[in-house]
Amino acid sequence: AQSVAQPEDQVNVAEGNPLTVKCTYSVSGNPYLFWYVQYPNRGLQFLLKYITGDNLVKGSYGFEAEFNKSQTSFHLKKPSALVSDSALYFCAVSYSGGYQKVTFGIGTKLQVIP
Amino acid sequence: NAGVTQTPKFRVLKTGQSMTLLCAQDMNHEYMYWYRQDPGMGLRLIHYSVGEGTTAKGEVPDGYNVSRLKKQNFLLGLESAAPSQTSVYFCASSYGGAYSYEQYFGPGTRLTVT
């Protein structure tokens, strides 16, 4: 079984401040973790993924995420938020042996305030 | 490169009517997926295909059928629409299995069943 939780429905941050969008997961094997972003009336876009290797993963648009095995977390971060980062962010989890099953979180709305 | 395209963008159906959603990708991806997105529930996998001529059930397949006659196209059919099928439908494709490869999403089809 696998599951993913995004504990915050919405995150508000001032432009220029660092941002964090939280994600925790549960899988029965080694996790594969993803972040996607969805802008209004658009499909999801891939940001970054963790499969193996360094715990700090760098992705598109200056985003990064840190894999923490002990806390089963994969939080999305950015050092300096832009107004254009305002969107819906989805964390997703799968695992080695999980074949096509990818479980998406319910999404966190990020609002960057000018 | 158009990426992943979906037609139509919007559709309103009456209960009991049928329709087909078309997804096309020009990235030569083997894997294709159909998801539905509902408020507070994230994305849920309806059906998927691991190659031309193959299809398989996902998490919520009831009431839907799919076909993958050509590698670049993946069709989703609703045989007898129900109000519970009101949703936003996303098609996605990936080079390899979605459990480890990033997915590329289409812009979505907003379906309302009255």
Confidence bin at A95 (pLDDT 50/70/90): confident
Tokens of B60: 């919520």
What count of CB pairs under 8 Å joins A to B?
65
Residue A1, classified by CB atoms within 10 Å of its CB into exposed (0-12), middle (13-18) or buried (19+), is: exposed
- Helix (H/G/I), strand (E/B), else coil: B99: coil
- What is the number of other CB atoms lying within 10 angstroms of the CB of residue B86? 16
pLDDT tens digits for chain B (114 residues)?
789 999 999 999 999 999 999 999 999 999 999 999 998 888 999 999 999 999 999 999 999 999 999 999 999 999 999 999 999 999 999 998 877 789 999 999 999 999
Tokens of A113: 């305030």
Is A31 within 8 Å of chain B by CB?
Answer: no
For B55-82, b/e burial (b = at least 16 CB within 10 A) is beebebbeebebebeebebbbbebeebe
The greatest distance separating any two alpha carbons of chain A, rounded to the nearest whole angstrom, comes to: 44
Question: Mutate which of A50, A88, A102, A106 to disrupt the B interface (most B C-beta within 10 Å)?
Answer: A102
- What is the number of other CB atoms lying within 10 angstroms of the CB of residue A24? 18
